[in-house]
Structure 1
Amino acid sequence: MRGSLKGRLFAILVLATGLVWALATVWIYVSTRAEVEHVLDARLMEAARMVSSLVDSQDIDVAVASLDRPAPPVRTGASYERQLSCQIWSLTGSLIGKSDGAPETRLSDHRDGFSEREIDGETWRVFAVENQALGIQVLVGDNLDIRARLVRDVVKGLLLPMALVVPALGALIWFGVGRGMRPLDELAEGLRRRKADDLHPISADAAAAEIRPVATALNGLFERVRETRERERVFLAYAAHELRTPLAGLKTQAEISLRTDREDVRQAALAQIVTAVDRTSRLVRQLLATAEAEAVGAASGDDLVDLARFLRSMAAEHSAQAELRGIRLELLPPAAAVVVRASEPLLALALRNIVENAINHSPPGAVVTVSWSAEAIVVEDQGPGMPENEIARATERFFRGSARSPVGSGLGLSIAALCAERIGGTLLLENRQPHGLRVALRLV
């Protein structure tokens, strides 16, 4: 039952209904008791004053009121007959008369008004009226046990139907909950029948208002999964194509170097093999880097990164590559230390690809500069730059542009853009004057 939404809803409704019924019963009990007390007290007062008035008008002759009338027959059951008892006492303290069944003991010692007294284990509610002119006191009493029984009988009249109605009400609630949750069951059944590759949206227009947000969220999930699968399909197709080209070139150049007798042709073929190996190695590394960026982005938290320390380490890592191409890698630190909060693995992945891209596209003797602040890390090269119409596509996967590098694969800037997105930043590209490209990794 704990794991069932239908069961939980049923239990909540039954408990809520039972609680409301119980509170209503308590309220009716309290209000009925108060009303009964008020009505019966008013009756006591009226009866006592009526008896005093009758005595005063001599309609009742207290002189002949007998004290020795036979006892009334015993009544059993829930009869409410003869609930009141009346006594007439002289002011000197003698009992002049009483009603059938009234106790012999004085009902109250009060001269006037309401009082309560226990006689022979029974509690009486009494109203007293004193007639000074005739020298008598009229006491009219009501047995509180009978009052309590009257209220209990009213409550029993409520509890008995409740005991009979609750099971029927529970069955109706269970049926109603089942009917009400049928749209959710139908949605679950529709999802259960779907094939794994069926990502078509669910029709949310005809769904109940409570189901519509779930259907909308599922449709959003289907769309994101579809887009992800499409990107992966395109990525794998491009990756297969890009790997196939250098591997075919490797085979061709190896066959040339094996078959030729000319040393210059052999050396040229070996140089082509080295270039193809470099390109293939870089492509494989960047394919792995793309997967790493997506995996790290989902699991990595934020770190406090000292940019000066971080970029010095990055420059040392790429200095050998830059020296081989005759390029100087230069850091331009700010006046004050800068510490940012970002994922260090993603930051390293982005900067490695940006710097490699700048080195690969810069001519020998050029300078690649790296500057930074709390807002961004900027890498500038002295290469040919990019045509303005290609800058918007520079971060697309496998887009190499017209000024392509022999070892480029078109993944470096796309990896940097992916990492920037994962850390909540952006990647901005613009041409420098007179030539070169400026890449800014904005951190905020």
Structure 2
Amino acid sequence: MTRAAGSLKGRLFAILVLSTGLVWASATVWIFLSTRAEVEHVLDARLMEAARMVSSLVDSQEIDVAVASLDRPELPARTHDPYERQLSCQIWSLTGSLIGKSDGAPDVRLSEQANGFSERTIDGAVWRVYAIQDATLGIQVLIGDNLAVRARLVRDVVKGLLLPIILIVPALGALIWFGVGRGMRPLDDLAAGLGRRDAQDLAPLAADGVASEIKPVVAALNGLFGRVRETRERERHFLAYAAHELRTPLAGLRTQAEIVARTDSEEVRKAALARIVTAVDRTSRLVRQLLDTAEAESESFRVSGDGPPIDLKKFLVENAADLAASARSRGVTIVFSAAGKDARLCVNETLLALAYRNLLENAVNHSPPGGSVRVGWSSDHLFVDDEGEGMPEEEQERAAERFFRGANKSAVGSGLGLTIVSICAARLGAALAIENLVPRGFRASLKFPGPCQPS
């Protein structure tokens, strides 16, 4: 699944702003809830203190209940604070008559509860009331608090939080944008440096002094540069080798064709035509092996992964069919010899076919007329033997070099057979080994890590 492209800086800015806003909003909700609970607790405590104070004044006779019961005077109320105006007091006799009340207190009884907290709705307003009943004096003190005042107090606290947010958020956004820009500067510098590079410059980027978050990007780019450099080097070598190796047979073809055109001798003509056929065969094989080399080195085979199980006997016999005619024309017999009839390998079939075909072709070309080529295998091993003259030990270390043909080279050889086998073996995770046989002959073998594991 692909995501829509966009500015990394913009995304980071949005994430930071949204995260900050979410944290601030969560803090505001938490402060609102905690403030409301704390305000209710404080105001409830105020109701209790006020009720006890009035009851104490009555008990100390600073408020004359008897006179109050006759005149029903208004109790003095403190009105210094807008939040205190809604704190109302009533003094009721136990017989049910209103003895006195504060300014702004309703005439309706604030609570029917004898003692403690209660809530009551009067004329659409909800009151929180604390009651104290004194049986000795025969009175009940009711102190009420309008809950609308409490809600307004909490709202004012929240407004006090929201106002700084409204003022600070733009400044905070600007600071976040500036910080993101500063933080992204190393990435901008890296992009600018890459933009100034020449297309031919594949030197690795310097990792010293690079921010730790960008080091993986630098390492990945350096790995990419290295792979591109290797690919370009392989292509350059491929073109150089192809130009060098094709130049000789093509020049020979031209020479032999001129001989055929100019000579009147039938024997010279036949000899020249035979050389042309040999040169064409060699050129054809060279072109095919160059293509095989390019295929073996291609990026599609960078990792030697497992493949479906390959029945080695069937695979080796079928892939030898293309060379059977060539072997018969040279009087060479291909013999199959298995150490394990049901041997199977789990490797890439294309790479194995490239390696095996070149091993077999080399063996056929180096075997003398009337000789034989022996193909053997087991559950983790594949070898091809010929009856040729072998390879001197001092040349064996160079056997897999490109275009190295050695002293005992064949007429149609190009020096790429073992090179292709070596490349394929490395991709397959196998080991290529070569050795001379006694009394004569040459063996090339591939040793694999192991047979297929049962599923």
TM-score normalised per structure 1: 0.91
Q: How does 1:266-305 map to 2 (within 5 A)?
A: 266-295=269-298, 297-298=300-301, 302-305=307-310
Counterpart Cα distance in 2 of 1:374 and 1:148? 85
CA contact (8 A) 2:86 2:104 kept: no
423, 432, 435: which one pairs with 1:428? 432
CA offsets per residue over residues 36-71 of structure 1, 9 Å max, x none? 111111111111122212212222212233535499
CA contact (8 A) 1:416 1:427 kept: no
State the secondary structure of the residue aligned to 1:137: strand
384, 388, 393: which one pairs with 1:383? 388
Decide whether aligned partners of structure 1 residues 123 and 376 sit closer, same or farther in structure 2, where only a CA change above 3 A counts. Answer: farther
Work out whether 1:247 is the aligned partner of 2:245: no
38, 56, 60: which one pairs with 2:59? 56
Counterpart Cα distance in 2 of 1:371 and 1:394? 21
One-letter code of the match for 1:255?
Answer: E
One-letter code of the match for 2:192?
Answer: E
One-letter code of the match for 2:369?
Answer: P
State the secondary structure of the residue aligned to 2:346: strand
CA offsets per residue over residues 214-246 of structure 1, 9 Å max, x none? 122212221222222122212211211111111
Counterpart Cα distance in 2 of 1:98 and 1:296? 96
* Aligned residue in 1 for 2:453: none
CA offsets per residue over residues 152-205 of structure 1, 9 Å max, x none? 000011111111211221122112212211221121122122221111222221
CA contact (8 A) 1:304 1:340 kept: yes
Decide whether aligned partners of structure 1 residues 99 and 74 sit closer, same or farther in structure 2, where only a CA change above 3 A counts. Answer: closer
Q: Structure 1 unaligned runs (5+)? A: none
Decide whether aligned partners of structure 1 residues 67 and 416 sit closer, same or farther in structure 2, where only a CA change above 3 A counts. Answer: farther
Deviation at 1:340, TM superposition (A): 3.5
Counterpart Cα distance in 2 of 1:73 and 1:41? 18
Deviation at 1:260, TM superposition (A): 4.5
Counterpart Cα distance in 2 of 1:90 and 1:223? 99
Decide whether aligned partners of structure 1 residues 403 and 340 sit closer, same or farther in structure 2, where only a CA change above 3 A counts. Answer: same
Decide whether aligned partners of structure 1 residues 111 and 337 sit closer, same or farther in structure 2, where only a CA change above 3 A counts. Answer: same
CA contact (8 A) 1:115 1:127 kept: yes
| Percent of paired sites with the same residue | 66
CA contact (8 A) 1:427 1:439 kept: no
* Aligned residue in 1 for 2:140: 137
* Aligned residue in 1 for 2:452: none
198, 202, 206: which one pairs with 1:199? 202
CA contact (8 A) 1:349 1:419 kept: yes
- Root-mean-square deviation (CA, aligned residues, Å) is 2.7
* Aligned residue in 2 for 1:188: 191
Deviation at 1:249, TM superposition (A): 1.9
Deviation at 1:339, TM superposition (A): 4.0
CA contact (8 A) 1:84 1:143 kept: yes
Q: How does 1:7-26 map to 2 (within 5 A)?
A: 7-26=10-29
Q: Which range moves more in the overlay, 163-172 or 372-381? A: 372-381
Q: Which range moves more in the overlay, 9-18 or 195-204? A: 195-204
* Aligned residue in 1 for 2:337: 332
121, 124, 128: which one pairs with 1:121? 124
* Aligned residue in 2 for 1:218: 221
* Aligned residue in 2 for 1:108: 111
Counterpart Cα distance in 1 of 2:391 and 2:110? 114
Q: Which range moves more in the overlay, 256-265 or 4-13? A: 256-265
Decide whether aligned partners of structure 1 residues 391 and 248 sit closer, same or farther in structure 2, where only a CA change above 3 A counts. Answer: same
CA contact (8 A) 1:358 1:380 kept: yes
State the secondary structure of the residue aligned to 1:364: coil
Counterpart Cα distance in 1 of 2:31 and 2:426? 65
Deviation at 1:148, TM superposition (A): 0.7
State the secondary structure of the residue aligned to 2:61: coil
Counterpart Cα distance in 2 of 1:416 and 1:115? 96
State the secondary structure of the residue aligned to 1:213: helix
Work out whether 1:38 is the aligned partner of 2:35: no
State the secondary structure of the residue aligned to 1:342: coil
Deviation at 1:380, TM superposition (A): 2.5
How many equivalent residue pairs? 441
Deviation at 1:115, TM superposition (A): 1.4
* Aligned residue in 2 for 1:348: 353
Decide whether aligned partners of structure 1 residues 231 and 88 sit closer, same or farther in structure 2, where only a CA change above 3 A counts. Answer: same
State the secondary structure of the residue aligned to 1:123: strand
Deviation at 1:294, TM superposition (A): 4.1
Counterpart Cα distance in 2 of 1:350 and 1:403? 21
Counterpart Cα distance in 2 of 1:68 and 1:395? 120
Counterpart Cα distance in 1 of 2:207 and 2:299? 35
97, 101, 123: which one pairs with 2:100? 97
Counterpart Cα distance in 2 of 1:42 and 1:296? 80
CA contact (8 A) 1:114 1:126 kept: yes
One-letter code of the match for 1:429?
Answer: A
Deviation at 1:442, TM superposition (A): 4.0
289, 307, 311: which one pairs with 1:306? 311
Counterpart Cα distance in 1 of 2:344 and 2:31? 70
Deviation at 1:265, TM superposition (A): 4.2
Work out whether 1:170 is the aligned partner of 2:173: yes
TM-score normalised per structure 2: 0.89
